[in-house]
Structure 1
Amino acid sequence: MKVLADIGHPAHVHFYKNAWKCLIEAGHEVVVSSRAKECAVDLLDALGVEHRCLSRQNDGRPQGMGREYVSRLRNLVGLVHAERPDVLTGVGGIFAAHAGVLCRRPSVVFYDTENATLQNALTYPVATRLYVPDCYKGWTPNRRTVRYPGYHELAYLRPKYFVPNRELALLHCGLAPFGDTFLVRVVSWQANHDLGEKGWSETTLRAVVHKLEELGRVVISTETPLPPDLARYVYQGPPEHLHHLLAFCRACIGESATLVSESAVLGVPALYAAETSRGYLEDLQDQYGLVTVLRSTEPKAVCQGISRMLDAPLSDVRDRHARLLENSCDVTETIYGALTAETL
């Protein structure tokens, strides 16, 4: 069979990469469409994955999103007609689902973000099958939804698929040779699920950096240019090596739900500070204590949240992380099974 995977974000590359390998090893064919957003194209190129870039990240305004939607869907429909895949898939999946309807192909959508209300309202009613984590709190179509025990990030960060390399993190990614390293993540807030939201102010970012640099080395992973006085903290390593750095950090602090979740499934405590949360972040907080969810981006509140997180004893983090892995399925196997199901 032939699978077409539509990639719109760097995290989607990681989510699918091991399933692609399993599909190809089993004799299936994989076609990948990509989007020029942050380092998504660079990640695909680094993995040696052939792909067709169909659009570039819009400016985050409704008009820009609308223009990209029309252009990308038109290009994806053309690719489907040319490649004739048996199934389309995507994370969030609006383009895979809509192209599937237009081209009469089944679509399998994976998602975990409840507050992407517009995208979900346009996608879920027409997707052939929707896969969400057990902790997902939003509406889904009952008869076409499959729930699984796990988190997206386990598709690529479960120990079966990822072994962190300390030497690589030291040589190329900015890990401190001695003492603690803290990874800070800021985002552009231009995704469809970011409509009406705003991220950290420069004041908040500076306050976080100044607090953390008293405790160790600070590295900032960012989607947008930083002020000149913070430029020296920017992550300089290859994008495909960021997880090697994260795995050896003392903590991760940021406004990216994905990177915070990645930190947690690696067993690294994390703090998420933003106006809205996610079901999976609250689950990682309530069930395993590996994430602290803070519904504020004010400098004082974020710094106090960091202090509380770092005051918690690390002695049981390893046990909590082990319990998380034990209670979660192999998400890559779930992806493979979903895409090869005979009942689509």
Structure 2
Amino acid sequence: MKFLIEITHPAHVHFFRNPIEWLAESGHQVKVTSRDKDCTLVLLDELDIPHQCLSVHSGGGSLAMARELLLRNRALANVVREFLPDVMAGVGGTSAAQVGWYLGCPTVVFYNTERAHIQNFLTYPFADRIIVPDAYRGWVPKRKGCRYLGYHELARLHPSRFQPDVSVAIANGLDPEGDTFLIRVVSWNASHDIGLKGWSIDTLKRVVGILRQHGRVLISAEEKLPEELEELAYAGSPDALHHVMGHCRLVVGESATMASEAVVMGVPAVYAAPSFRGYIEQQQERFGLAWHVDRPNPDSISSAILNALETDPRELERRHQRLLEECVDVARMAYDELLYAAGAWGSGTDSTARKG
């Protein structure tokens, strides 16, 4: 069988890296189409995953994003006509769904962001199968949606296939003696960020000041930091960041993805942003490993940080183990769903996710 995988964001590399490997090992042909955004291409190259870049991140703004979508759809359609995949898949998957619908190629979309109203409106009606986490609280068309208990970030970071290496972490900025704290600030120019804005510089500086009282601070930023904070910028390898994160005391920031990455590794996280994510709420309410600050300011973020730091590490470990016991193996689920999609139109693999 032939599978075409759309990878348009660094997190998608981690989501699909194992299914891509397993498909290839099983004798299937896999074509990866990529997008030049942040470190996406660097990660694919570091992992020796062959890919064809079809577009460059527009930089934000409705018109720029619309133009990129049109250009990407045209480029992807040309690839599909040449490669002739049996199934296409993507996270978010707008181009995959639209081009797949137009050219008659079945499409599987994995997604977890309720707030991406415009993107989902442009995607879900054209997809054949939409796989979302159990915690997802957004709209999914009837008879297309399937759910599972788990998180995208487990696809890469499940302990059965990833263990953070302390030596790699130290080589990439982890304090070898004391606690390390990772702050993540984002650019807020994705389609699901329209109408939202991030931390002020003052908020960032004050959060840095709070965390510096407890240990070393590293900042992972999508945009250039103020000159007085540049010395704190994460300077390690993109692929080593999870090794660093896995040995941090706490992760704080505006990225729901990075907060969830920390949580599935057992590192508590403060997600300080106005954008709702069902999976963060579940990680907070069901497992007690995340703290969501939906009206971020220095005082509210500081309170959440102190709550996280005051939680007994042994209790955090118990909560993490319960999360791992209750959640599915997401990488294996994604692999099974791709085979099921191919089987639904000709083979015969059971679905891991349930309908609903």
TM-score class normalised by the smaller sequence: over 0.9
- Aligned-pair CA distance for 1:303: 1.7
- Aligned-pair CA distance for 1:297: 2.1
**Distance (whole Å) between structure 2 residues aligned to residue 304 and residue 337 of structure 1:** 42
SS of the residue corresponding to residue 280 of structure 1 reads: helix
**Distance (whole Å) between structure 2 residues aligned to residue 55 and residue 128 of structure 1:** 24
- Aligned-pair CA distance for 1:326: 0.5
1:135 aligns with 135
1:123 aligns with 123
2:352 aligns with none
1:180 aligns with 179
**Distance (whole Å) between structure 1 residues aligned to residue 330 and residue 309 of structure 2:** 30
User: Is the contact made by 1:87 and 1:106 (CA closer than 8 Å) also made in structure 2?
Assistant: yes
Matches within 5 A, 1:239-258: 239-258=238-257
1:59 aligns with 59
Whether 1:343 aligns to 2:347 is no
**Distance (whole Å) between structure 1 residues aligned to residue 262 and residue 17 of structure 2:** 19
**Distance (whole Å) between structure 1 residues aligned to residue 177 and residue 332 of structure 2:** 38
Paired AA for residue 201 in structure 2: E
Structure 1 residues 88-147: Cα deviation after superposition (integer angstroms, max 9, x where no partner): 100011111001011110000000000000011111111000000111111112211111
Matches within 5 A, 1:311-326: 311-326=310-325
Paired AA for residue 246 in structure 1: M
**Distance (whole Å) between structure 1 residues aligned to residue 70 and residue 125 of structure 2:** 19
Whether 1:288 aligns to 2:287 is yes
SS of the residue corresponding to residue 21 of structure 1 reads: helix
Paired AA for residue 149 in structure 2: P
SS of the residue corresponding to residue 184 of structure 1 reads: strand
Moved more, 141-150 or 107-116: 141-150
**Distance (whole Å) between structure 1 residues aligned to residue 173 and residue 202 of structure 2:** 24
- Aligned-pair CA distance for 1:309: 1.9
**Distance (whole Å) between structure 1 residues aligned to residue 333 and residue 29 of structure 2:** 18
Q: CA RMSD in A?
A: 0.8
User: Scaled by the length of structure 1, what TM-score is found?
Assistant: 0.98
1:112 aligns with 112
**Distance (whole Å) between structure 1 residues aligned to residue 177 and residue 298 of structure 2:** 28
2:13 aligns with 13
Matches within 5 A, 1:11-50: 11-50=11-50
Structure 1 residues 158-194: Cα deviation after superposition (integer angstroms, max 9, x where no partner): 01111110011111x1000111000000011111100
SS of the residue corresponding to residue 122 of structure 2 reads: helix
Matches within 5 A, 1:70-219: 70-171=70-171, 173-219=172-218
User: Is the contact made by 1:125 and 1:141 (CA closer than 8 Å) also made in structure 2?
Assistant: yes
**Distance (whole Å) between structure 1 residues aligned to residue 62 and residue 141 of structure 2:** 26
User: Is the contact made by 1:204 and 1:299 (CA closer than 8 Å) also made in structure 2?
Assistant: yes
**Distance (whole Å) between structure 1 residues aligned to residue 198 and residue 30 of structure 2:** 36
- Aligned-pair CA distance for 1:304: 2.2
- TM superposition outliers: structure 1 runs of 4+ over 6 Å: none
SS of the residue corresponding to residue 335 of structure 1 reads: helix
Paired AA for residue 167 in structure 2: E
- Aligned-pair CA distance for 1:312: 2.0
1:220 aligns with 219
SS of the residue corresponding to residue 293 of structure 1 reads: strand
User: Is the contact made by 1:58 and 1:190 (CA closer than 8 Å) also made in structure 2?
Assistant: no
User: Is the contact made by 1:18 and 1:161 (CA closer than 8 Å) also made in structure 2?
Assistant: no
